[in-house]
Structure 1
Amino acid sequence: MSYLKKYKIPLLWLRRHTSDRNFVLISSVLVGFTAGLAAVALKTLVHYIQVLISYSNRLLEQPYWLVLFPMFGILLTVFIVRVFLNGKLGRGTANILFLISQKSSIVERHKMYSHVITSGITAGFGGSAGLESPIVVTGSAIGSNFGRDYHLNYRDRTLLLACGAAAGIAAVFNAPIAGVLFAIEVLLTDISITAFIPLIISAVVGALCSRIILQEDILFYFSSVQDFTASQLPYFILLGIFCGFLSVYYTRMVHKIEDLFEPFNNQVYKRAFIGSAILGLLIMLFPPLFGEGYNSIKLLESNSAGNLIQGSPFAIFGENEWLLLGFIGVLALIKVVATTCTISAGGNGGNFAPSMFVGAHAGFFLARFINLLQPGKLPEGSFTMIGMAGILSGVMHAPLTAVFLIAEITGGYTLMIPLMLVSASAFALVKYFEPYSLDTKKLAQKGQLLTHNKDRTILRIMKIGHLIETEFQPIAPQATLGDLVEVIANSHRNLFPVVSAEQKLVGIILLENVREIMFKREKYNTLLVQELMTQPPATVQHDDSMADVMKKFDETGAWNLPVMNGELYLGFVSKSSIFTKYRKLLIKTTNV
């Protein structure tokens, strides 16, 4: 008996002998533990790849290595995806939202490990992208496949998927509250109070994994934060507005750069070479762009911003405060370029960490700029931290996650008021210009952003193929009225499709339209069906979306519509059968 079967036997016994609710609670512990270990493995992999790089004959002191390392990491990632995953990786939170709404929360099994490997290689060798999105995908895949293995329904499978994502975020930042809020704000926008318990359990277990296993230099945290005073309030309002506009810039720049790479979609290695070469050149000019960028944030927070410019060609100009300020401002603007080039080139990563990088540099830039004009007026470390929340809130459309994440990684709630103020103002401003987050914008444009609308989500789950009714009695167009009367006598429906010998629908007969004439026996052999038929108000193709079908019902006022495969007649779909199926799915998916 294999190890896997030995592992499953106790859980199968529990599945049979416990209630669904209790089994979900037990499952949330196991999913949280597994996702937490995956996050630990990913952070450790990246850490030691970078340790190996930095201590191998001090290669990073030579500028050309900054081009070659990211290029090697991205090309290796592209090779792995092409050869071992058939070119199908499925990147980012948007992919998980797509799977929740269109694939019944079923995530491919390889995503339980493929994102750890590919994102670890990408970021470890200097790719300028974050690890949080890959760990969200990994945790979601773990939760989804756990639910599949133990035959949980859509509702519980989706909940475990979110539990895995929450545990992953909690483990990466050692921030369980942020993990729970991320799952609620981004993945589950319509949940009940009962869903909080499994999410909390998974997030806590995931956070404990990282706290117990990971070393302190791998975890991202800050031990000292300056106090907030009311006199700083106008400057924090200014920071919120600044972060809002910068978030709009971030979101739009990502999509513009992605569009530039679209012509190379079928030339993956050429695209990888071009993107990684651009990334490498950017890193040569701005070394802090190498990797995730958390070390740069720590330098800003610890008042060591001068170290950022070291190794850059701009260092030859000496220690000039205004030059350093300009360098930091440019970093905030071009991080999005470096990140998008990394991902568009074929590397694996996300925009979670880059948005925090941009926020930290934007917050520091604003505080240092004001302090250069009025020395000592603003706490630059606090502005660095709060700026992260502002951009994260604006780019991800997750203000609660942003607020509590920064509160947790700073070890307290000293900055809660400015965190809430900056996050809320940035989010409100971004929402005016960009109704959807960076990850969901393209899904929304395609009409595939369904988890944020339960009605559309349920309609998307429903398939026409499962609702086709075939008991309608067809009749040929050359048949006579007498033939039609005989068909009517042997049918319990009041609608009759007129179908040719080639199975093409040429019209329909409604009982109410022939009720009077069907009793005129003198016309039984002379009047043909094709003279009595009418055209259906609309037709439905077998692969139409249910949203399109319902739109046709609303526009025509019909109760039944014929379903076609091209020109071939398949049957009818009725509004009543759709409503019945809808009610069943609504009960099934409610209270996630």
Structure 2
Amino acid sequence: MASAPASGRDGRGDGLAGAGAAVPGRAARKASHLGDFTVRPRMLLITGWAVGVGAASALAAWVLQKLIGLITNAVFYQRWSTDLVAPGLHRHDPALVLLAPVAGGLVVGVMARFGSEKIRGHGMPEAIEAILTAGSRVAPRVAALKPVSAAVSIGTGGPFGAEGPIIITGGAVGSILAQGLRLSADERKTLLVAGAAGGMAATFNSPLASVLLAIELLLFEWRPRSFVPVVAAVGTSAVVRGFLLGTGALFPVHVTDLHLAPGVLALCVLSGVTGGALAVAATWLVYLAEDGFARLPVHWMWWPAIGGLVIGCGGLLQPRALGVGYDVIGALLTGQATIGLIVGILVVKTIIWSLSLGSGTSGGVLAPVFMIGGALGALEGAAFPTVAPGFWAMMGLAAVVGGVMRSPLTGVVFTLELTRAWPAALPLLISSTAAYALSTLVLKRSVLTEKIARRGLHLTREYSTDPLEAFFVRDVMDSDVFMLRDTDTLAEGLRRTRADHEGPADRVQHLYPVVDEHGRLVGVVTRNDLLERMAEGGDAATVADVMRRDPITVHPDDTLSHVAYLFAEHGLTRAPVAARDDHRAVLGMVTLAHLLHGRRHDLTEDRHRERVLSAPIPRTVARQG
């Protein structure tokens, strides 16, 4: 038989998996067919655990809010209370405003230095890094130290949100539980993300946005095995939050009906573009600050205290920029903020948040982004036509979230769930997408993923269909292959394979199916197997004495993705193709090189440009021609 195209020579030259090649083919096929069914009870099991994780993350969010309230009241109002209150509601001693953030930054730096460096930052990159590099393992001490450090940072005036710390704290709850169970890394990831999303849902009473955030930022997949447990955790967390913090909207905006003229929708695009520009500027400031702090001749333990000095200076200019600022966000979204407050928040909050976040202190990004975006939109609302109270503030909020976090759908749904202004869905989508488009055109990465990239990790959040899922083995396999008989002597087998090995190197088959007298597959062998046995004095041996029995086979209707996983699992680079209804009927051979066919097709569709339809030539012109 003629030689067929095959992959190039690998390190072993035979395409077999060594000891792994002896894995029974029928057992492997049975496992692959049962895979879809065995995942179902596992999914239900993980969902059951996720319910408990969701409840625990809601409790963690409640404790964090109470802790922030306790420290804020103690530092700025010298009273014992756990009610969430903002600094700057009353006039404070300037020395207190200046030095409290410095003291808080110093405490955070000491906790990070002698406790865990993982508590530094705003939580989202740390959760992503745990998923990508640590098998979704989070140390228990991070679960304890992160909320305390965030409460200290925010309670002493830090312009951050509670959501970033609760993401890593809730994620740590799920991860710690998963580490105590016998679970895979993917299952640990699911419980980590379930805890993170549950904490978000409890913090903002935004279950749908929390699920979208998990999908767009943390899961790196959209599969039932992870989606269902995350939703179960978020749903549980939302119910528990109802008992602890209530079920109402965080920033209710009363919009009953919107009649949006085309000109208003066009201005929503403009609002999105300006929001995207602000998102780019804020992201640039964060990493400019991070680079600046990295050049300081002092240990990083002192950086949060220096960042606290920046916060204190900003607080002297605009005290309402300190802390979480939920009251300011509410005023912006209901159209009750003054121009002085709007401008002060837009300028001061953006600067102190960006610069202090670059210092590596502990705090989240969402609440500050809500405030900054709301201030931008409220400022635009002074010039744009009146639509509804807080309408343009909502547009700015969604735009800056979409631009800073590169999560446009999350920005839209967050705004809707925070305000319950459901009729504003279309203009919010326009503004958020416009900001997202500008951000992706100008910046390579978002504020959340740039830090990951700086640590040497490549991270993509673009979802697309795996091209290997779109092609089957029958589309790429070689149907004309060399085969040996089990009764052939070693000399006969070497003679029959010599022509193949003397051909072009990139067309050498390497692996040869062995068939019996009826042409039925009984094993596989390589030329190296024959040569080694011959060298040992196997003149009287046959191919049957050398071949590897019951080899792993694939079927013509298997996807290339299935083949890729099978090759990876068993260390193969090629395998015989057998009929689905008869695994001993050889139809061809598939190799590792064939798997590139799907990738080449994907590249062609992405880069090859052609005119499919052309303008018809008028008949009169055709006759003249």
Q: Same fold (TM over 0.5)?
A: yes
Q: Deviations over 1:444-496 (max 9, x none)?
A: 355413474899xxxxxxxxxxxxxxxxxxxxxxxxxxxxxxxxxxxxxxxxx
- Provide the rounded CA distance (Å) in 2 between the counterparts of 1:250 and 1:341: 9
Matched ranges for 1:203-222 at <5 A: 203-214=234-245, 220-222=250-252
C-alpha spacing 1:182/1:122, structure 2 compared with 1 (3 Å)? same
Structure 2 Cα separation of the partners of residues 332 and 157 of structure 1: 40
1:50 corresponds to 2:81 = no
Label 1:54 to 1:226 Cα distance change in 2 as closer, same or farther (>3 A).
farther
Asked whether the 8 Å contact 2:193–2:214 carries over to 1, the reply is yes
1:392 and 1:399 in contact (8 A); partners too? yes
Q: Structure 1-normalised TM-score? A: 0.66
Question: Equivalent residue for 1:417?
Answer: 426
SS in 2 for 1:197: helix
Q: How does 1:266-281 map to 2 (within 5 A)?
A: 266-268=298-300, 270-281=302-313
**Are the structure 2 counterparts of residues 449 and 330 from structure 1 closer, same or farther at C-alpha, using a change threshold of 3 Å?**
farther
Q: Does 1:379 align with 2:388?
A: yes
> Does 1:362 find its partner at 2:376?
yes
Using the alignment, how far apart are the partners of 1:105 and 1:451 within structure 2?
18
Aligned residue for 1:400? 409
Name the SS of the counterpart of 2:383 in structure 1.
Answer: helix
Q: Describe the SS at the equivalent of 1:105.
A: coil
Q: Unaligned stretches of 5+ in structure 1?
A: 1-17, 307-323, 372-376, 456-510, 520-573, 584-592
How far apart are 1:417 and its partner, in Å? 0.8
Give the structure 1 partner of residue 93 of structure 2.
62
Alpha-carbon spacing, 1:109–1:419, altered in 2? closer, same or farther (3 Å): same
Which one of 335, 353, 360 corresponds to residue 367 of structure 2? 353
Deviation by residue 1:297-348 (Cα, 9 ceiling, x = unmatched): 1122233313xxxxxxxxxxxxxxxxx36x6235324423212333344531
Distance in 1 between the 2:342 and 2:456 partners? 38
- Superposed, 1:452-471 pairs within 5 Å as 452=461
User: Does residue 246 in structure 1 map to residue 282 in structure 2?
Assistant: no
Distance verdict in 2 for CA 1:346–1:453, change over 3 Å: closer
Structure 1 CA distance for aligned equivalents of residues 114 and 346 of structure 2: 36
Residues 52-103 of structure 1, C-alpha deviations (whole Å, 9 max, x = no match):
4453389843222211221222222222222333x44353211221221111
Look up the match of 2:349: 335
Residue of structure 1 in register with 2:167 after alignment? 136
Q: How does 1:36-435 map to 2 (within 5 A)?
A: 36-56=58-78, 60-85=91-116, 87-91=117-121, 92-214=123-245, 220-225=250-255, 227-231=257-261, 232-264=264-296, 266-268=298-300, 270-306=302-338, 324=339, 328-329=342-343, 331-370=345-384, 377-435=386-444
Residue 43 of structure 1 and its aligned partner are, at CA, apart by 1.2
**Aligned partners of 2:434, 2:90: CA distance in 1, in Å?**
44
For 1:180 and 1:575, locate their aligned partners in 2 and report how far apart those are by CA, in whole Å.
Answer: 32
- Structure possessing the higher relative contact order (Cα contacts under 8 Å, 6 or more residues apart): 2
1:470-481 correspondence to structure 2 within 5 Å? none
| SS at 1:191 equivalent | coil
- Separation in 1, partners of 2:216, 2:232: 17
Note if contact 1:130-1:349 (Cα within 8 Å) is conserved in structure 2. Answer: yes
Distance change in 2, residues 1:216/1:123 (3 Å): farther
TM-score, length of structure 2 as denominator length: 0.63
SS of the residue corresponding to residue 303 of structure 1 reads coil
Partners of 2:196 and 2:365 in 1: CA distance: 16
- Deviation of 1:221 (Å): 2.7
Question: Given residue 41 of structure 1, which amino acid in structure 2 is its aligned partner?
Answer: V
C-alpha distance in 1 between matches for 2:246 and 2:94: 30
Please tell me whether the aligned partners of residues 54 and 194 of structure 2 are also in contact (alpha carbons under 8 angstroms): yes
Aligned length: 426
- Once the two structures are superposed, residues 386-422 of structure 1 have per-residue CA deviations (whole angstroms, 9 ceiling, x without a partner) of 2111111110111111111111121241111111111
CA separation of 1:179 and 1:272: change in aligned 2, threshold 3 A: closer
> Aligned partners of 1:193 and 1:289: how far apart in 2?
42
In the TM superposition, 1:558-577 aligns within 5 A as: 577=571
Change over 3 Å in CA distance of 1:336–1:109 after alignment to 2: same
Deviations 1:484-516 (A, max 9, x none): xxxxxxxxxxxxxxxxxxxxxxxxxxx99xx9x
Which structure has the larger Rg over C-alpha atoms? 2
Equivalent in the alignment of 2:34: none
Q: Distance in 2 between matches of 1:90 and 1:147?
A: 23
Whole-Å Cα distance in 2 between the matches of residues 53 and 575 of structure 1? 58
Amino acid at match of 1:166: A
Identical-pair percentage? 28
2:388, 2:463 → 1: CA distance?
44
1:549 maps to none
Matched residue type, 1:113: A
**For structure 1, which segment, 390-399 or 439-448, has the greater mean C-alpha deviation from structure 2 after superposition?**
439-448
Query: Could you say which structure has the higher helix fraction?
Result: 1
CA RMSD of the aligned region, Å?
A: 3.1
- Using the TM superposition, give the Cα deviation of residue 379 of structure 1 relative to its aligned residue in structure 2, in angstroms: 3.1
* Higher deviation after alignment, 158-167 or 52-61: 52-61
In 1, Cα distance between the equivalents of 2:225 and 2:569? 33
Helix, strand or coil: the match of 1:225? coil
Q: Using a 3 Å threshold, how does the CA distance of structure 1 residues 37 and 303 change in structure 2: closer, same or farther?
A: same
